[in-house]
Amino acid sequence: MPLSLPFEQVDVFAERPYEGNALAVVVDADALTTEQMQAFARWTQLSETTFLMRPTSPEAHYRVRIFTPLRELPFAGHPTLGSCQVWLAHHDNPELGEIVQECPAGLIRLRRQGPCLAFSAPPLLRSGPLDAATLRRVEQGLGLAGGQVRASQWVDNGPGWAGVLLARREEVLAIRPDYAALEGLNVGVIAPWGGPQAEADVEVRAFMGEECNEDPVTGSLNAGLAQWLIGAGVLGERYTVSQGTVLKRRGRLRIERADEAIWVGGEVQHCLSGTAVFPGR
């Protein structure tokens, strides 16, 4: 027998619908197999699709599994905020100050911050400067001249991010990636916006070399970049991020270091609700 489950599509890191990063969320997905989840994520063709389930940890409010069209991720940022927003819509408790998500990366804390949700950045799985060979691949894949990269660092909290810092926003917006040259690397680029008309403190772009596309707005990357650049004293303990400009999106993130954690926040907009039907096994 086919299985029908509640389904929602939300827009994450968006102050208005259809300006951020879309996420598909399937609710009450405990009965689905990994193969069914991956097939559905492949069919949606969104950067990520998530599946909400009962937690196995007594500390967690819900469990989530996160899939790209190609693979399962242990953690990702915009799926964390979007999944939490959908879970709250189905289990809302206005007195609940902190929500705990269970995922393969561990337990992730989330907070409500006015109209925003924010997650606490998980520990980095890999850090430290990029080696010379990797940096050359990044420069070639992004079309950057030697010396254009001001600093570089592994900022991997699950998706394998390598981060590079440039001097100016215009350099970030001018990048036209060569995914073949990136050879599967996932690379994030950041630079200060600058100027009196700045709408945010920094501009970010995320190039998914594994999937040969650009992610519109990326929570995991921004979490890793914040851990690196706040820790190094390059950025202050509170700043705003613009992402998605080249893709005609208007993603906005709020980054803050507080309570000995990096918090990555933004608004989530509900866009679609319905039912997803899964064929019987």
Question: For residue range 76-105, what is the model confidence (pLDDT) as tens digits?
Answer: 999 999 999 999 999 877 677 899 999 998
Reported pTM:
0.93
Residue 118: closest CA among 272, 280, 279, 267: 267
Using one digit for the tens of pLDDT, what is the confidence trace for 153-208? 999 998 899 999 999 999 999 999 999 999 889 999 999 998 888 999 999 999 99
| Fold (CATH) for 3-121+266-278 | Diaminopimelate Epimerase; Chain A, domain 1 (3.10.310)
Residue 6: closest CA among 99, 63, 86: 86
> Cβ contacts of residue 198 below 8 Å, gap of 6+?
none
Residue 8 is among the residues annotated as catalytic for this protein: no
Q: Which of 8, 48, 102, 203 is catalytic?
A: 48
> 32 near 52, Cβ under 8 Å?
no
Angle at which helices 219-231 and 77-90 pack, to 10 degrees?
Answer: 120
CATH of 132-260, one of 3.40.50.2000, 3.10.310.10, 1.10.1060.10, 3.60.10.10: 3.10.310.10
Using one digit for the tens of pLDDT, what is the confidence trace for 7-55? 999 999 999 999 999 999 999 999 999 999 999 999 999 999 999 999 9
Look up residue 102 and give its two tokens.
Answer: 């269970």
| SS3 assignment, position 235 | coil
Confidence of residue 133 (pLDDT cuts 50, 70, 90): very high
Confidence of residue 281 (pLDDT cuts 50, 70, 90): low
Look up residue 168 and give its two tokens.
Answer: 């100016």
As annotated, the residues of the chain forming the CATH 3.10.310.10 domain(s) are: 3-121+266-278, 132-260
Residue 50: closest CA among 17, 80, 12, 94: 80
